[in-house]
Structure 1
Amino acid sequence: MDALWGAAPRPPPPGLDSSESPGSTPTAARRLRRPPLPWARFSSWLECVCVVAFDLELGQALELVYPYDCRLTEKEKTSICYLSFPDSYSGCLGDTQFSFRMRQSGGQRSPRSMDDDDGYNKGAPVTLQRETAHLFGYVYFRQVKDSAVKRGYFQKSLVLVSRLPYVNLFQSLLNLIAPEYFEKLVPCLEAVCNEIDQWPPPVPGQTLNLPVMGVVIQVRIPSRVDKLESSPVKQFNQENLLPAPLVLSSVNELDLFRCFQPVLIHIQLLWELMLLGEPLVVMAPSPTISSEMVLALTSCLTPLKFCCDYRPYFTIHDSEFKEYTTRTQAPPNVVLGVTNPFFIKTLQHWPHILRIGELKMSGLYTSYKTYLHKDKTLIKRLLKGIQRKRPSEVQSALIRRHLLELTQSFIIPLEHYMASLMPLQRAVTPWKTPPQIRPFRQDDFLKTLEHAGPQLTCVLKGDWLGLYRRFFKSPNFDGWYRQRHREMTQKLEALHLEVICEANILTWVKDKSEVEIVDLVLKLREKLIQAQAHQLPVKEETLRRVALYIDTVIGSLPDDLQTVLRHP
């Protein structure tokens, strides 16, 4: 039995009701008894809201963090200060919106934060999962002349800090609250945060009504089981929502056509650079343009997750500045958005530089040669759309569909090969460790392409084999493979639990020693805890049957052992 399912059992997870046995599942009633932590709903959307102001003596200074008990490290506070102001070269007068992304620098998450036990990451597309090591900042910056200020200008940023890559939702939210905040200041911000704390949590697949400042934002949270195509949000409960809601077509999608219009002829080349995780710097005249372009580029691979680092807006004050600008080693796998002309010289050794926003200087500087031939039909359709003044959202939909089909054509053969590595269902038996997933052999995969390659779904010709070989060396392949392997392992574990439930456990117990039976109880308990902790794809009915099995097996033991096992 020792070799049955590996490691010794872990203690039950914290939060298990003391009246529950570790082998049982918490009922809905028991879960309801646990009061939500303060700001728990708020934290399912945002980490905090920050206000950054310009101080004549200190420079950028963090004026306010709300909720007040939010635990940001000093390093994070400094980063937020620098990343929340456009570079002085940008000359942004009036109101400016942009985004940034930064590493979380140690420190604990606030205890009130909802972790992924809420099931969000399990149901969300991999491209929209909550980040664990990074924070996003959504910025609304205002710079206007003000004679009452020594410097002659009012300069302040309102920043939403979140782990969710919901750029469209949070920038729309800022559009509503920032102008009001700049007029009414802190009381207005507290009221808004309290409203957000009443929002339902983001649940993949649900369309939510999110009230704030007399407006209802209506948005659908994408799910990983969605059909991948652009479709507008279906409005609902209209009769109960007065005035009419602000309906967002997406939580995260940008206007791809507007972003890519200066570089339409390079779209396919840029897609390959993103697929291969190549180092790329985007040089733009403002953080708005740099951040939108970086986010548009990293979204090119949907539904494949971009697994490299990316910084929609990066400054010379960033803690990674030396790491990214050193010439002693090759540039890291990162996409940087910059606005300071200083970077033109500092990053000139980077292999791919995209300059946008200045007509005379716009262009892509690279020696990269594409593996695939250019799709001239897409460019022709987009150029014809410009001539006919086709709406930007229609042009964006064309680009998005083209990139989606390109990515799917590339990834489907990998998915098929990966599925072939899964052990057969009949190989999973109740009293043995589940069989291993067979190793991914690159040469074996490449041999499958002749009959099951991308040419079945994509008209593009070119060196697909060369592209796959290069892809295997990228962080994107590593990230995709780890994710798929984890999902397949969980599926095997779930299948193992179901097979155990179908077995005649009492027959097995009859000729076993007490030690073996106790070992079985502990192993089953561990399996149950694992199913709950890792949210294995197991039906509630299966979990109930495993808990019943545990009780049945314990009931076959002497009273003293029963007491020990029921009250560990």
Structure 2
Amino acid sequence: MSVVNNEILRRHFLELTTNFLSPFGPYLRTTTPLEGSSPFVDPPLLPPFHADEFVNGLASRGPGKFLSKRMKSNWLDLYRKFLEGPNFMRWFRQRRSAAEQDQLRLWRQARMNVDIEKLMSKMSELERIDSFNVIERYLLKEMENSRTGTAESLAACQKLKADLQAAFSVLPKDMQQLLLSNPKRAVLLQASQEKVSGLGDVVSQTSMVIQNFRLRILRRDVNGWSYSWMPIKLLVTCYFALPI
């Protein structure tokens, strides 16, 4: 009989605790890329938590049916005391950190599973350039992690190298030349570099390539394309650290 009572009490307090903590769920909820969207973007940040806004939101929504039936006292004051207690921030930070790590893991797995060629086929030229830059950034990060020699990091490096080359292959030839003018980037793209003919001295040709790229975008503006000159100028300046 005592065993049964203990089990009932355990379930009761577990349910009570779960429902009491449920309002914190939105601040700890992870997201994954939507189906068909690119995982080569930074995951969205978890919502910021502010105690006053949290309490005000609870006051407007109410405690919910479960807590209202079981908490006859001032339930809102109970939340305030919980927030002001010595253990809340430590608990919240631990849960928050775990959620952030879980989200990074989910987005990393999405990058491992994505069909890069199918994804690139749906992108505009500007989106392809942006994706190339992000893939390169993730690859360099994984290469740092792969120094530990874990199978997961090594597999991620191989996948991202293939994705980087696939993204590179669909860029305009003049943009490929511009990218390869960076020696470190050229090392990452050795396989792709062999596919680009007539490179010559890409470093000395950088100014000409940029000018050609400018004219190309300007012609598109005249023909009614949606890209404007200023975003492209900023793109080249920020991404490739070359003078405009």
TM-score under structure 1 normalisation? Answer: 0.23
Structure with more strand by fraction: 1
Structure with more helix by fraction: 2
TM-score under structure 2 normalisation? Answer: 0.46
